[in-house]
Amino acid sequence: MDIGTTVAAILTLAIYSFLYRDNPFYKVAEHLLLGVSVGYFLVTTIVTTIMPKLFIPVFANGELSYLVPGILGALMFLRFSRKLSPYSRIPLALIIGVGSGVAIPAYMQAQLIAQLKTTMLPLDDISNIIIIAAVVSVLMYFYFSREHKGLTGAGAKAGMYFLMVFFGSTFGYTVMARVSLLIGRMQFLLGDWLGIIK
Amino acid sequence: MSVNETLQKRQHIRRIVFILMALSVILPLIFKIGLPLKTTKEVRDVFEFIDSLPEGSAVVFSFDHDTATLPEMIPLAEALLRHSFRKNLRVLGLALLAEGAAIGDDNFRRIGNEFGKVYGEDYIFWGFRPQVTVAMLGLGEDISRVFPSDYYGKDVQSYPVMEGIDSYDDIAGVISIADGDMPVHWINYAQARYGVNVIPAVTAVMATTMYPFLQSGQIAGLAAGLRGAAEYEMLLGKPGRAARGMDAQSSAHLLIIGLIIAGNVLMIIERRRK
């Protein structure tokens, strides 16, 4: 057993100690996690992005075109100045503009058209009937221009039940995921650390 | 009963639930029960997809997760990597979240060594790139522009494993090991635009987000959570950590079902008393 495993095991127990009550061990472990995560992200970003995508091309290779995104990125920091903060909107406008231009057609194609296509099914199968009934009734549930009475009300109510089934299955999966995390930690504590299980 | 007493009682009940939950997980891990485990179609689809690839095909593993979800992500990554290496595929890796870079590189090295694979010849880890949209779209045009150098700073095109691999056209599929909705971005930008096969290997929480894409055929299969990893291990014929955890998973679920029923019964009794 190496020292890293023991440190990780002690930190795991420190985090789990919160289940009894809030305590200094938990606080230390929590702050350590935050600090290490932010530090790691910062170093990774500098080493893998800022250095090869800005400093090396500009200062080592003399490729000055890389200065343009560099300056735009630097303009973002002007948000901290009251006087100069309007200039920070220039890169933001560019990000939003380009981002929307790229994202909207992609979303339309992948999410809307492809998903609509899958809903246009022949009514010769019970699964297809359920899918179509669920889509139509959920859409009726979110249709607010008419009072939910009569046929609209019945449709909306059916939509609500379909939504509940969705929420229930999502919550079931969430519980499963949380239990999996606990199993992973127990396998680590009992196996990797204490060697009780293989 | 005073407010203080009620709060104290609730605190005690909470602690009892935590102890029961810990026991329901620990005991099956120590004393194996060996409950049967069946494989589902969506996991079999992933297995069959990788299994059907000819030797030398290139697959990309994208480590789109952080350390918080490692217990779910690592068994999935290990099972899929083992299968890919066993099939002698060319395995390429990247991370779209910073923490995924170290995790991905470690997994590649560890599983690669298990199969005697050589870095640069059989597999490569490109490293981390921020701005997922730009990275995903860029890979469709020219991989070496998005990743001019690998995780270790060496020219990507200098490695033999990269021979003939320039864009998605040369890649059989992208496996996104994700704890969030990154596979949806892969579908939006890589699958819809470039037609590349996307295979999400996600946390159980994300499974319901992925099912509509499975039904529409936008993803080649789905492996979700520890259960997905356990099924994959069974298909590989090598039950591992995930499969061993399934007894604990089942017993914890039974406990939760029991607690829900007990809670509701107690609530009904209390209401009737009032």
* Residue-wise burial string across B106-118, b where 16 or more C-beta atoms lie within 10 A, e elsewhere: ebbeebbeeeebe
Is A17 a domain residue?
A: no
**ipTM attached to this prediction:** 0.90
Nearest C-alpha neighbor of B201 from the set B97, B93, B63 = B63
Query: Which residues are within 8 A (CB) of A166 and not within 5 positions of it... i.e. 6 or more apart?
Result: B208
Cα B215 from chain centroid? 19
Nearest C-alpha neighbor of B204 from the set A21, A93, A180 = A180
Nearest C-alpha neighbor of B34 from the set B252, B223, B239 = B239
Cβ-nearest to A176 among B191, B217, B227? B227
| Helical spans, DSSP H, in chain A | 3-16, 24-45, 67-75, 89-107, 114-119, 126-141, 150-187
* SS3 state at B103: helix
Tens digits of residue pLDDT in A53-79:
899 999 999 999 999 999 999 999 999
Is A51 a domain residue?
A: no
How many CB atoms neighbour CB B66 within 10 A? 19
Tens digits of residue pLDDT in A88-124:
999 999 999 999 999 999 999 999 999 999 999 999 8
Is A155 a domain residue?
A: yes
pLDDT tens, position by position, for chain B (274 residues)?
677 888 888 888 899 999 999 999 999 999 988 888 999 999 999 999 999 999 999 999 999 999 889 999 999 999 999 999 999 999 999 999 999 999 999 999 999 999 999 999 999 999 999 889 999 999 999 999 999 999 998 999 999 999 999 999 999 999 999 999 999 999 999 999 999 999 999 999 999 999 999 999 999 999 999 999 999 999 999 898 899 999 999 999 999 999 999 999 999 998 998 7
Asked whether the predicted pLDDT for residue A4 surpasses 70, the reply is yes
C-alpha distances (whole Å) from B135 to each of A55, A73, A171, B175 are 20, 18, 32, 15
- Contact status of B72 with chain A (Cβ, < 8 Å): yes
Angstrom distance (rounded) from CA B117 to CA B159: 14
Is A32 a domain residue?
A: no
Contact predicate B40/B231, CB 8 Å: yes
- Contact status of A166 with chain B (Cβ, < 8 Å): yes
Specify the amino acid at residue B69: T
Give the residues across from B176 on adjacent strands.
Answer: B62, B200
Angstrom distance (rounded) from CA A50 to CA A62: 15
Cβ-nearest to B225 among A107, A111, A177? A177
* A110: chain B residues, CB-CB within 8 Å: 187-188, 191-192, 218
Output the CA torsion A42→A45→A46→A52 (10° steps).
180
Helix then strand then coil, in percent of chain B rounded to 5, is 60, 15, 25
- Residue in A33, A120, A176, A198 to test binding to B, most B beta-carbons within 10 Å: A176
- The DSSP letter of residue B40 is P
Nearest C-alpha neighbor of B143 from the set B133, B152, B130, B156 = B156
* A173: chain B residues, CB-CB within 8 Å: 204-205, 207-208, 224-225
Is A175 a domain residue?
A: yes
Output the CA torsion A17→A21→A23→A29 (10° steps).
40
Q: What is the pLDDT of residue B199?
A: 98
Query: Which residues are within 8 A (CB) of A192 and not within 5 positions of it... i.e. 6 or more apart?
Result: A1, A5, A9
Nearest C-alpha neighbor of A183 from the set B195, B186, B249 = B249
Cβ-nearest to A184 among B72, B191, B207? B72
* B135: chain A residues, CB-CB within 8 Å: none
- The DSSP letter of residue A58 is I
Nearest C-alpha neighbor of B104 from the set B157, B172, B151 = B151
Specify the amino acid at residue A166: F
Nearest CA in chain A to B148: A52
- Contact status of B53 with chain A (Cβ, < 8 Å): no
* A190: chain B residues, CB-CB within 8 Å: 26, 29-30
Tell me the DSSP string of B216-236: TTSSS--EEHHHHHHHHHHHH
- Considering the four listed CATH numbers 3.30.70, 3.30.460, 3.40.50, 3.30.720, the one that applies to the domain covering B41-239 is 3.40.50
Nearest C-alpha neighbor of B110 from the set B128, B129, B93 = B93
Is A5 a domain residue?
A: no
* SS3 state at B95: strand
Question: In chain A, how many domains are there?
Answer: 1
- Which residues 43-72 on chain A approach chain B with CB closer than 8 angstroms? 44-45, 48-49, 52
Nearest CA in chain A to B71: A184
Q: Provide the domain limits for residue A134.
A: 122-198
Identify the sign of the CA torsion B92, B97, B101, B102: negative
- The residue ranges of every structural domain in chain B are 3-31+249-273, 41-239
In angstroms and rounded to an integer, the radius of gyration of the C-alpha atoms of chain A is: 27
